[in-house]
Structure formats: C-alpha cells, structure tokens
Amino acid sequence: MPPPPSPIDSLKHMKKVIVAMSGGVDSSVSAALLKKAGFDVTGMLMKCWSAEDPFGESCSAQDDERMARLAAAHLGIPFYSINLIKEYKERVVRYLLEGYRKGITPNPDVMCNKEIKFGLFFDKAMELGADYVATGHYARIRNSAIFMAKDQNKDQSYFLSFIKPGVLDRVIFPIGEYTKPEVRKLAKKFGLPNAERKDSQGICFVGKVDFVDFLKEYIPAKPGNIVDMQGNVLGWHEGAVYYTIGQRKGLGLGGGPYFVVDKNVKKNTVTVSANGDDLLKKEVKITYINWFSKPENEVVEARIRYRQTPAPGVFQVDSTGNSGKLVFSAPQRAITPGQLAVLYQGEQMLAGGIIA
C-alpha cells in the first residue's frame, strides 16, 4: 500500500526538533528543510568512536564532526555533540563481535539504529525538551507506520526494522520524499559546505574500515580448512568467523569462482561450492520479530538483505508471535543466519526479524 501524503507542514509552528547531524549531506539537508518549514531546529552529533580506539586514526568521526559543525553554522542553528562512545561499544560493537564468535552474521547498523539513534539519542533529545527527532534516513513515516522511501534505490526502511514502534510519533524523516539526486541539488541550493561530500560507507559511525581487519583486532586468527560439499580440503582460511554465506572474494582458491555455502565455527571449517545454486533456499525461520503492523493476510514481500527487491512469499507466525516461517515463492540466494528478514505489504514495512 502506498503511503499517504507527507504531514511535515502540519507538524511545524515552531516545534522544537533535534536533528541527528552526521556531517553527511542527507542529515544536513534534513536540517535545512526543517528550518525552512518553520521548525525550531538544533543539530546534534553522536560521538560513538574515539581516536584512541583501534582504527581511530582511519575513522571518519573527527571529519564528520567538523563537517556537521560547518553545516550547522551555515544554517545558523545551534549545534552540540553527545558522547556515546561507551554505550556504542557495549550495545553495538559487543553485539557484533558476539554474533561473529557464534558463527552468525549480525547487522551492526540495525542495532545502531535500535540502541543508539532511536534509543539513547532519542531519549536524550526528549529530555532536552524536543518535540521531535529527525534523521537523514531514506524512509517515510505515515500514521505511526514506516513506508519505503520515494527513492527505492536508497530506501533504508530495512535498517529501521528493529526500532521501537512507539517512537515513530516523535520522529521525522525529511528526505524520505526525495531521491538522492534531488537531495544533492537541494544541498547546493541551500549552499551547504558538504554538498559534494561523498556518502559514508562501512561500519556505522566508524567509516571506511576494512571489516575483516576490524574483526581481527578483536577476534584472533585461527587457521582452518576450506572444504567442498563432499568434505575435500581445497585450501585454508584464517578463521571461519571472518566469512559469511554467499561470499565469493577473499577465498584464495584457484579454479573457481567458489562461494561460501556454510561455516562451522566449532570445527573451524568453511564450506564452499562452485555451483551458485547451492546457495538457494525457499524457507527461512525468523526469530525475535519486531512488529510495527500485523499483516492483513499471510501473503507478504520480504527482504533478506539491504537493497534487495522485496520477494513475495507466505509468512506463518507461530503462537508466540515472536517467530515464524517464511516460505518464498521462488528460491532466494544466500539466506544468512544473523541477518534480518524484513516483511512488507506494498510499501509499508510490517516487521523485522532475525534469520535463524
């Protein structure tokens, strides 16, 4: 179902909004749009990584803060920062590392949204008297529900699927109605100093850090065998925890391409196949479901990874309401334990759950 029209004009009238400014163009344009619409806007940056931490020198946090301050100054709005370094380590980094140690592939960006941006940051903004919190996410909120963004290629509803539904009445996504090229044009129109800044990539708040190098800093290498589907040894790896289902690069095997189809952290083996069809599955169990809206029927669409076109299927929830079985109409590639399956009906996001 498509979302109803944007309510942003009905929200203003000098309502106080704190914008999570990251130094990027999306959050800066969000602040500019809200100010133009008549809100009382304050910018605030979350400090979640320290220069003293591993990869601190290559972390983009310092430059992010500088750009956010420049954008806020250009817009003439107050700007502050909040130190969440300790909390980020405890709630996001620990979640990430514990998941990899167990042999699954967790999503730190989803947990960052749940625990940091729409958890601690949201709570702090409310304590400071804000009526709303705004971020530069590509998504839309209508009638206390999350819908896909106008820009389907940039839609970030997948990453928002674990936030508390109760915060939605106090959250605004100003750029959800715009495409990325339109946001870039707005940034230039507003004269923002970061209008040409490239989008950040990598670990949430840490930036462009090689992910395996990041893992190795916390989880020591443990060499083991790479085997085929019949158990024949094809090569060796530095640690089964560093690999994920569907991975093709970085295997160091000749005669491929090979794909990771399984890993066993207890036996420390990585199983590969040269047949991509070995990655296909139709059924997936979903646990720890976070519901926004119950489906009208069992027929849904689902994403098992970011930017995937939602695939049709049937979802059968169990009696607890916290888990269920998703059966896709067509087999899906590289269903990965620990990642999220996000359910939709039309453009409306219904729920997110962890793939078991």
Which residue in the list 97, 111, 112, 240 is annotated as catalytic?
112
For this structure, is 112 an active site residue?
Answer: yes
Catalytic residue among 61, 204, 209, 279: 204
Tell me the longest C-alpha to C-alpha distance in the chain.
68
Active site residue 204: yes
Positions marked catalytic: 112, 204
